Amino acid sequence: MVISTLAGRNHPSEKPLAEIYPLTLEFHERFKEAFGSCACGDLMPYEFNTRDHLKNCLKLVNKVAQLLAVYLEEKGLLK
């Protein structure tokens, strides 16, 4: 069994996707506004599997995690 606490879900069948989709769309728009794009090629200008790629990836993951944490807090989705 997969456990997800997004939007108060303990099981995927508990909350209709119609209620989840607007949240994902809103976060997608925030992501695009914050980073200028959602395309991997735009976000990762370095050659794959190089030191610069790894450093950029780690920084990006950290920033996205922060953005997501703020979003989830604002929406009251953290328990």
Query: Tens digits of per-residue pLDDT, 8-19?
Result: 556 665 667 788
In a domain, 19, yes or no: yes
| Element spanning 24, H or E | helix 17-35
Q: Rounded CA gap, 67 and 18, in Å?
A: 23
In a domain, 1, yes or no: no
Count of domains forming the chain: 1
Domain that residue 38 falls in: 6-74
In a domain, 17, yes or no: yes
Rounded to a whole number of angstroms, the CA Rg of the chain reads 15
25 burial (CB, 10 Å; 0-12 / 13-18 / 19+) is exposed
In a domain, 45, yes or no: yes
What letters, b where the CB count within 10 A reaches 16 and e where it falls short, cover 6-18?
A: ebebeeeeeeeee
In a domain, 79, yes or no: no
Query: Tens digits of per-residue pLDDT, 25-44?
Result: 999 999 999 999 999 889 99
- What is the reported pTM? 0.74
